[in-house]
Amino acid sequence: MSYSVNKTSITLTRGDTLKIQIAIFTSDGEPYIPDPMDVIRFAMKKDYNDESPLILKVIPNETLILTLDPSDTKPLDFGKYVYDIQLTNSAGEVDTFITKAQFILTEEVE
């Protein structure tokens, strides 16, 4: 495994595949089951103030598995990034349930 997760901090070797199971909970602490019309998205930037994300992925409702392909991180510099994960439910309500999280890309030997 070329990545590690510590709470919301992810460390990944640049250019490797990432597959992480995402968990969503209600305010009561119960597991949230996404509606087929819900949209769950991952966005990663170098800095929170950046206008556009470097990586933007939709996480499938059926699996709740975030997948980054090697091509997603290969062109990026080594170092620290920030990300969040947001749920937009079928009623249009938005809940950013993972915020201000850290994503670290580490070096690989080629």
Residues near 109 by beta carbon (within 8 Å), at least 6 away in sequence: none
Q: What would the pLDDT profile of 31-89 be if each residue is shown by its tens digit?
A: 999 999 999 999 999 999 999 999 999 999 999 999 999 999 999 999 999 999 999 99
What pLDDT is attached to residue 18?
Answer: 97
What pLDDT is attached to residue 22?
Answer: 96
Residue 110 domain-assigned (yes or no): no
7 pLDDT higher than 90: yes
Written as six digits, the tokens of 53 are 């994300």
pLDDT band at 2 (very low <50, low <70, confident <90, very high): confident
Beta strand extents in the chain (DSSP E only): 3-6, 9-13, 18-21, 39-45, 55-59, 65-68, 79-88, 94-106
pTM: 0.93
What's the half-sphere exposure (Cβ side, CA atoms, 13 Å) at 97?
19
Residues near 74 by beta carbon (within 8 Å), at least 6 away in sequence: 14, 15
The alpha carbons of the chain give a radius of gyration, in whole angstroms, of: 14
Domain count, the chain: 1
What pLDDT is attached to residue 1?
Answer: 60
Residue 106 domain-assigned (yes or no): no
Residue 92: give its domain's CATH number: 2.60.40
